[in-house]
Amino acid sequence: MDKRFEEMLLKYALEKDIAARQSIESQLWKEFGAVKAVFVMDLSGFSLLTQKYGIVHYLSMVRRMQLIAQPIIEKAGGQVVKLEADNCFAMFDAPQAAVQTAIALNQAFDEINVYTAEQFDIRVAIGIDYGDVLLIGGPDYFGDTVNTASKLGEDEARPGEILITERALLQIPSSAGFQYESVELEISGINIPAASIRY
């Protein structure tokens, strides 16, 4: 984590004056904030595959997923923020590129799955949101947008599914031609208007 960011967080925590705290928060967003499309991909089937074939089997699938995903994301102009366990956290400047990449990844995994036994097939679930994020050295990112994309990708999306929030979808021109089905999701007691991308 960036040293200045850490110092400002501590200063915020110790500051008793509300206006001064708000000023620190504003400065944090000014220095470290950005508007991004947040992309969170989760490798499906962890519990079942690990119980059935063992952790080494599953970790080998995680590594294959990482080796395939990173170049596809980067070629599309995205940035892999971190690879954590069986998740891939990335960001794009615009939601359209995030959706196109999500489709390309699912297609790539479908293609390689033809050549592997079923227990080695890679299936992923992807969540996409768009909005303010704090970009911190490490690398890492934080914010409601990251939380929502994580919930969509890790908890709500089924294998092969791409879920995108309505606010992200509204940033994509209709000329992009994406087909989708609207869904209403509840995350931590909050209703999240979203869509499931058809491809």
Residue 158 lies in a domain: yes
Q: With a cut of 80, say whether residue 46 has pLDDT above it.
A: no
Residue 8 lies in a domain: no
Owning domain of residue 45 = 33-198
pLDDT digits (tens, 9 = 90+) for 76-90: 999 999 999 899 999
Q: pLDDT > 70: what percent of the chain?
A: 99
Structural tokens at position 136: 């911190």
CATH number at residue 65: 3.30.70.1230
Average of per-residue pLDDT across 123-143: 93
Average of per-residue pLDDT across 40-58: 87
Residue 4 lies in a domain: no
176/180 Cα distance (integer angstroms): 12
Residue 160 lies in a domain: yes
Q: With a cut of 90, say whether residue 1 has pLDDT above it.
A: no
Residue 74 lies in a domain: yes
Q: Which of 139, 136, 172, 169 is nearest to 34 (CA)?
A: 136
Residue 57 pLDDT grade (very low, low, confident, very high; cuts 50, 70, 90): confident
Residue 116 pLDDT grade (very low, low, confident, very high; cuts 50, 70, 90): confident
Residue 132 lies in a domain: yes
Residue 11 lies in a domain: no
Q: With a cut of 90, say whether residue 118 has pLDDT above it.
A: no
Average of per-residue pLDDT across 130-153: 92
Residue 26 lies in a domain: no
Q: How many domains, the chain?
A: 1
Which secondary-structure segment (H or E) carries 128?
Answer: strand 124-136
